[in-house]
Amino acid sequence: MATASLKLMILTGVFFNIFIRGTNGERCNTSSIQVQTMNTGMMVAGGDTVFEVSVKNLCPCAVRNVRVDGRGFATTVDVDPAVFRADDEGPGVYLVNGGEPIASMATVTFQYAWDHFFEMTARNLEVDGQCQAQASYGPMT
């Protein structure tokens, strides 16, 4: 009975560690950033459709310097550059939240208007330094 309980605790610790660090030892990567675009159903003068983009951090740690690929992005309405702006990293690369941290499970949103939506995907990010410095998780006691 004690052996089964110990095995369960070890397996729980291993799965928890995989959840926190990922299968390749990294805590978070671009797959930890969920980018969704939704048609709001609104239109602006000139007939362009308003879209809302949500960038959500699914990582258990805060992340910063989140960049997305949005090649071809254009808008007929202003987007707050503190939330979403072109980045020097290259054409079609955009910095989210001004490079500031996005907490775990937090979402940054912005709207744009164009005649179609633009596919956007996470390109790169940095994991918060405090989270990187934490010791690895072992079996729960």
Residue 128 pLDDT: 80
For 67-83, write each residue's pLDDT tens digit: 999 999 999 999 999 99
What residue spans define the domains of the chain? 29-131
String of DSSP letters for 4-63: HHHHHHHHHHHHHHHHHH-TTS-S--GGGEEEEEEEEEEE-TTSPEEEEEEEEE-SSS-E
Is pLDDT at 104 greater than 80 in this prediction? yes
- Does the predicted TM-score (pTM) go above 0.85? no
Give percent of the chain with pLDDT exceeding 70.
Answer: 73
CA 65/CA 114 separation, integer angstroms: 26
Average pLDDT, the chain: 83
Residue 140 pLDDT: 33
Tell me the CB-side half-sphere exposure of residue 67, using CA atoms within 13 A. Answer: 16
Domain 29-131, CATH among 2.60.40, 1.20.1070, 3.40.50, 1.20.272: 2.60.40
In whole angstroms, how large is the CA radius of gyration of the chain?
19
For 11-15, 31-35, 47-51, 86-90, which range has the lowest pLDDT when averaged over its residues? 11-15
The order of strands in the sheet holding 33-43 is: 33-43, 49-57, 107-114
